[in-house]
Structure 1
Amino acid sequence: MDHTLITTIAMSFLFAFAAGLLAARLGLPPLVGYLLAGVGIGPYTPGFVADLKLAAQLSEIGVILLMFGVGLHFSFRDLMKLRGIAMTGALLQIIAATVMGALFALWWGWSLASSLMLGFSLSVASTVVLLKSLEEHHLLETTQGRIAVGWLVVEDLVMVLALVMIPALAVLMETHEQWWLANDFWISLFEVTIKIVLFIVVMLLAGTRLIPWILHLVVKTDSRELFTLAVIAMALGIAYGAASLFGVSFALGAFLAGVVINGSHISHRAASNALPFQDAFAVLFFVSVGMLFDPTILLKMPWHVLAVVAVIMIGKSIAAFAIMLLFRYPLVAALTVAASLAQIGEFSFILAALGNRLGLLSNEAQSLIMAGAIVSITLNPIAFRMIPLLARMFENRPGFLNNHQPESTESSAQHTEGHSEQLNAHVVLVGYGRVGKKIGLQLDQYQIPHAVVENNRQACDALRKAGKSVIFGDASMHGILEHTHLRHAKVLVITSPERFQTRRIIELARKLNPHIDIIVRTHYEEELDYLQSIGINAPVMAEHELADTISKHVLERFADVRSATPP
Structure 2
Amino acid sequence: MEFILYLVLILFFTKVAGDLSVRIGQPAVLGKLIVGILLGPAVLGWIEQGSFINELSEIGVLLLMFIAGLETDLEQLRKNWKSAFAVAVGGIILPFIGGYSAAVAFGFSQNHALFFGIIFCATSVSISVQVLKEMNKLNTREGTTILGAAVIDDVLVVILLAVMMSVIGTGNDISIGLLIGKKLLFFFVIIVAGWFVVPKIMKWMAPLKVTEAVISAALVICFGFAYFAEWLQMAGIIGAFAAGIAISQTGYKHTVEQKVEPIAYSIFVPVFFVSIGLNVSFEGIGEQWGFLIIITIIACITKLFGGWIGARMTGFNSRSSLIIGSGMVSRGEVALIIGATGLQAGLVLPQYFTSVVIMIIATTLVTPPLLKLFFREKEVQR
| Normalised-by-shorter TM-score class | 0.7 to 0.9
Following superposition of structure 1 onto structure 2, how do residues 64-103 of structure 1 map, counting pairs within 5 Å? 64-74=62-72, 78-103=76-101
Whole-angstrom distance in 2 between the partners of 1:21 and 1:81: 36
Match of 2:324 among 330, 337, 351: 337
Consecutive unaligned residues of structure 2, counting only runs of 5 or more, are none
Whole-angstrom distance in 2 between the partners of 1:337 and 1:104: 25
Whole-angstrom distance in 2 between the partners of 1:223 and 1:500: 50
Whole-angstrom distance in 1 between the partners of 2:75 and 2:28: 34
Q: Which residue of 1 aligns with 2:227?
A: 240
Q: TM-score, normalised by structure 1?
A: 0.61
Question: What CA deviation, in whole Å up to 9, does each residue of 1:91-145 have, x standing for no partner?
Answer: 2320110110110111001122222222221223322211122223332211121
Deviation at 1:5, TM superposition (A): 4.2
Whole-angstrom distance in 2 between the partners of 1:162 and 1:122: 12
Whole-angstrom distance in 2 between the partners of 1:205 and 1:384: 35
Structure whose CA Rg is larger: 1
**1:267 maps to 2:253:** yes
Whole-angstrom distance in 2 between the partners of 1:224 and 1:499: 43
Match of 2:308 among 321, 324, 328: 321
Whole-angstrom distance in 1 between the partners of 2:18 and 2:75: 37
Deviation at 1:226, TM superposition (A): 2.5
Whole-angstrom distance in 1 between the partners of 2:327 and 2:136: 13
Question: What CA deviation, in whole Å up to 9, does each residue of 1:392-422 have, x standing for no partner?
Answer: xxxxxxxxxxxxxxxxxxxxxxxxxxxxxxx
Matched AA of 1:113: N
Q: Which residue of 2 aligns with 1:116?
A: 114
In structure 2, the CA distance between the partners of 1:132 and 1:53, relative to structure 1 (3 Å rule), is same
* Conservation of the 8 A alpha-carbon contact between 1:208 and 1:261: no
Deviation at 1:501, TM superposition (A): 3.9
Question: What CA deviation, in whole Å up to 9, does each residue of 1:221-257 have, x standing for no partner?
Answer: 586623222222221233124323x333211221222
Q: Which residue of 2 aligns with 1:257?
A: 243
**1:173 maps to 2:180:** no
Moved more, 214-223 or 246-255: 214-223
Deviation at 1:323, TM superposition (A): 2.5
SS at match of 2:168: helix
Q: Which residue of 2 aligns with 1:36?
A: 34
Question: What CA deviation, in whole Å up to 9, does each residue of 1:412-438 have, x standing for no partner?
Answer: xxxxxxxxxxxxxxxxxxxxxxxxxxx
Following superposition of structure 1 onto structure 2, how do residues 179-328 of structure 1 map, counting pairs within 5 Å? 184=172, 188-221=175-208, 225-244=212-231, 246-279=232-265, 280-296=267-283, 299-328=286-315
* Conservation of the 8 A alpha-carbon contact between 2:30 and 2:368: no
* Conservation of the 8 A alpha-carbon contact between 1:52 and 1:291: no
Matched AA of 1:239: A
> Percent identity, aligned pairs only?
24
In structure 2, the CA distance between the partners of 1:501 and 1:77, relative to structure 1 (3 Å rule), is closer
Match of 1:349 among 318, 336, 339: 336
In structure 2, the CA distance between the partners of 1:274 and 1:371, relative to structure 1 (3 Å rule), is same
Deviation at 1:386, TM superposition (A): 4.2
In structure 2, the CA distance between the partners of 1:34 and 1:106, relative to structure 1 (3 Å rule), is same
* Conservation of the 8 A alpha-carbon contact between 1:72 and 1:259: yes
Question: What CA deviation, in whole Å up to 9, does each residue of 1:468-512 have, x standing for no partner?
Answer: xxxxxxxxxxxxxxxxxxxxxxxxxxxxxx76544433xxxxxxx
Q: How many residues align structurally? A: 381
Whole-angstrom distance in 1 between the partners of 2:220 and 2:206: 15
Whole-angstrom distance in 2 between the partners of 1:267 and 1:261: 6
Moved more, 343-352 or 47-56: 47-56
Matched AA of 1:37: V
SS at match of 1:301: helix
The Cα RMSD (Å) is 2.8
Following superposition of structure 1 onto structure 2, how do residues 137-156 of structure 1 map, counting pairs within 5 Å? 137-156=135-154
SS at match of 2:154: helix
Which structure is higher in helix share?
A: 2
* Conservation of the 8 A alpha-carbon contact between 2:342 and 2:348: yes
Whole-angstrom distance in 2 between the partners of 1:243 and 1:323: 28
Matched AA of 2:119: S
**1:381 maps to 2:258:** no
* Conservation of the 8 A alpha-carbon contact between 1:200 and 1:256: no
Matched AA of 2:165: A
**1:63 maps to 2:50:** no
In structure 2, the CA distance between the partners of 1:10 and 1:230, relative to structure 1 (3 Å rule), is farther
In structure 2, the CA distance between the partners of 1:339 and 1:243, relative to structure 1 (3 Å rule), is closer
Whole-angstrom distance in 1 between the partners of 2:49 and 2:227: 22
* Conservation of the 8 A alpha-carbon contact between 1:228 and 1:273: yes
**1:504 maps to 2:375:** no
Deviation at 1:78, TM superposition (A): 4.4
* Conservation of the 8 A alpha-carbon contact between 2:304 and 2:328: yes
Which structure is higher in strand share?
A: 1
Deviation at 1:170, TM superposition (A): 3.4
Deviation at 1:207, TM superposition (A): 4.2
